Amino acid sequence: MQYFVQQLINGLTLGSIYGLIAIGYTMVYGIIGMINFAHGDIFMVGAFTALIVFLILGAMFYSVPVVVALLIMMIVGMLLTGLYNWTIEKVAYRPLRGSFRLAPLITAIGMSIALSNFVQVTQGPRNKPIPPLVSQVYTVDGISVSLKQIIIVLVTIALLAVFWYLVNRTALGRAQRACEQDRKMAALLGVDVDRTISITFIMGAALAAVAGTLFLMYYGVVVFSDGFVPGVKAFTAAVLGGIGSLPGAVLGGLLIGFIESMWSAYFSIDYKDVAAFSILAIVLIFLPSGILGRPEVEKV
């Protein structure tokens, strides 16, 4: 039982990171109906930004409190990735918004490759490690919980609550929901559609940057290819939880984290990805719109 609970805690931590990335996928899909496959690489850029900020802080100051360092890393990462995503939306996606459905998808894959290669060229192909930022571990009845795991879960809960409030209780959220239902009608009613979509991309990038910072803190290493696998799994989490639903994205991320953790603990670790995607296929057979997703209604 202790081993089982320990794996639950590990799955909760991993799933929280997936859930933060998945929110970005689900927000963009909800408002313009496209999958931003460059989002995983935005997450990777956020992790590298956090790494560079950490190195700069270490070079400029003798000692910086961990809380302050993490906060600065997150803020700078959110600003830079927000700028990246805003540029990508304006340059690559907006001109293709009225084109055939495959055009934005192909462009998104191209932007993903471009970002990955850009980081590989500028930062090198090798793993980039950092010293442990948070090392405290608490043990209760043989079950270990590290402080960094607690931070990851608490940050995920806080950000989910903040973004749920923004989407459901603010003017920006009303504009986003209006654009999700009908962009043309929203524009006729005075909603600045282009501005709303750009802000949505920035919000998704900010969450990816936070996830990248937490990923760096948790694993202590990052490489240019780290955007692909977490990005695909976060997309899987968004689909599993119900694409377009913020709580569904986090729920899907947690489920993927639990499946990976439990499979790695009791079966071959080589097949943990196969198990996660198999569960996705089984769930979608019985719930095509995901666990918390709403069935899509065709407008006549």
Q: pLDDT for 225-280, tens place per residue?
A: 898 888 888 988 988 888 878 888 999 999 999 988 988 888 878 788 788 778 77
- Reported as a pLDDT band with limits 50, 70 and 90, residue 296 is low
- Segment 80-100 mean pLDDT: 90
- Segment 34-56 mean pLDDT: 92
- Reported as a pLDDT band with limits 50, 70 and 90, residue 299 is low
Tell me which of 90-104, 109-123, 251-265 is least confident.
Answer: 90-104
pLDDT value of position 295: 61
pLDDT above 70: percentage of residues in the chain: 98
Q: Which two tokens stand for residue 128?
A: 């980039």
State yes or no: pLDDT of 159 exceeds 60: yes
pTM for the whole thing?
0.91
- Reported as a pLDDT band with limits 50, 70 and 90, residue 221 is very high
